[in-house]
Structure 1
Amino acid sequence: MLESTFINGYAFWLLFGLALLASEFFFPGLIAAFFGIGALAVGLLTLLGVVETSAVQVILFAAFSLVALFGLRRHFKRWLQGSEEDLASADQDDAGFIGARVEVLTDFSDGFGDVLLNGAKWDAESSDALRAGEHARVVDHRGIVLKVTRQQS
């Protein structure tokens, strides 16, 4: 009698739902969480006395889980994983450097010098002979080294 009450009771559904939600941390795929939502919903309805028989609980669990899975998975997946599709085809200027105006801090010697961008000192390279105090434009970057060219007045 106790075993049948536990399986039909709200405690089973609530614990099952929490276990499914916790399993998502160990086996990510964003599927178990929606079945956990379904189990929690059935557990709450059973706790409130809306659902009593185990057949109705199983049917509601399946219905809630499938509606949550197909209705919400796309939105949660985009939110949790981001919307970037392919970094190779994406804009590589993710920092917004290209086209930025910089101030030359030191004379460029052998094509290398320092520039000021957004209040920070950056290493830079240029084929132009740039002097301290001039302004230049960023045309490319390799990691933390900016490639700059003389700004046309």
Structure 2
Amino acid sequence: MLESTFINGYAFWLLFGLLLLASEFFMPGLIAAFFGIGALAVGLLTLVGVIETTSVQLTVFSLLSLSALFGLRRHFKRWLQGTEDNPAVADQDDAGFIGARVEVLSDFNDGFGDVLLNGAKWDAESSEPLSAGEHAWVIDHHGIVLKLSRQQP
């Protein structure tokens, strides 16, 4: 049985593993990385003499890569992308609006008016009557419309 010394050597598996890991940067999908880890593991096992034949190398590569892919991808994907199931519905107060003190610029007619927040004019709504010159606090927001209250949250 004649086996290729190129595929049988540890250098092939180590280079193949590094290429697969590098390909993840150019085509991210969190798939090639697990095959790269499998190839690196086979390369190291071949280097230390644990694996010798090509058929065993291919079998170990397949088992390690697929096990890592199906067993770890879900955890790594959550770690890299976050845990929000639906970012459109999630709390979007990453700007830190809630709890901010604003100055009322115009009297609120029918619950709507303008306020000053961080030096910018914002549209706002409130169920409480607010007059120009008063201060209020942001209790929520829907897009670019702030919801206000006289009471600090």
- For 1:65 and 1:90, locate their aligned partners in 2 and report how far apart those are by CA, in whole Å: 34
Cα separation, partners in 2 of 1:125 and 1:145, compared to 1, 3 Å: same
- For 1:90 and 1:26, locate their aligned partners in 2 and report how far apart those are by CA, in whole Å: 30
1:51 equivalent in structure 2: 51
Question: Where does 1:1-153 land on structure 2 (aligned, <5 Å)?
Answer: 4-98=4-98, 100-102=99-101, 104=103, 108-109=105-106, 111-115=113-117, 120-125=118-123, 128-131=130-133, 134-141=134-141, 146-151=146-151
Cα separation, partners in 2 of 1:95 and 1:78, compared to 1, 3 Å: same
How many residues are paired up? 141
- For 1:13 and 1:23, locate their aligned partners in 2 and report how far apart those are by CA, in whole Å: 15
- Matched residues, percent identical? 67
Cα separation, partners in 2 of 1:150 and 1:20, compared to 1, 3 Å: same
- For 1:82 and 1:140, locate their aligned partners in 2 and report how far apart those are by CA, in whole Å: 23
Cα separation, partners in 2 of 1:123 and 1:32, compared to 1, 3 Å: same
Secondary structure, in 3 states, of the residue corresponding to 1:42? Answer: helix
Deviation at 1:23, TM superposition (A): 1.8
Cα separation, partners in 2 of 1:146 and 1:54, compared to 1, 3 Å: same
Secondary structure, in 3 states, of the residue corresponding to 1:19? Answer: helix
Any unmatched runs of 5+ in structure 2?
108-112
Any unmatched runs of 5+ in structure 1?
none
- For 1:17 and 1:101, locate their aligned partners in 2 and report how far apart those are by CA, in whole Å: 51
Is contact 1:130-1:150 (8 Å) kept?
Answer: no
Deviations 1:12-35 (A, max 9, x none): 101111111122222222111111
TM-score (norm 2): 0.74
- For 1:65 and 1:125, locate their aligned partners in 2 and report how far apart those are by CA, in whole Å: 54
Q: Could you say what the CA RMSD is over the residues aligned between the two structures, in angstroms? A: 2.7
2:110 equivalent in structure 1: none
TM-score (norm 1): 0.74
Cα separation, partners in 2 of 1:113 and 1:97, compared to 1, 3 Å: closer
Deviations 1:53-73 (A, max 9, x none): 111111111111112112211
Counterpart AA for 2:89: S
- For 1:90 and 1:145, locate their aligned partners in 2 and report how far apart those are by CA, in whole Å: 17
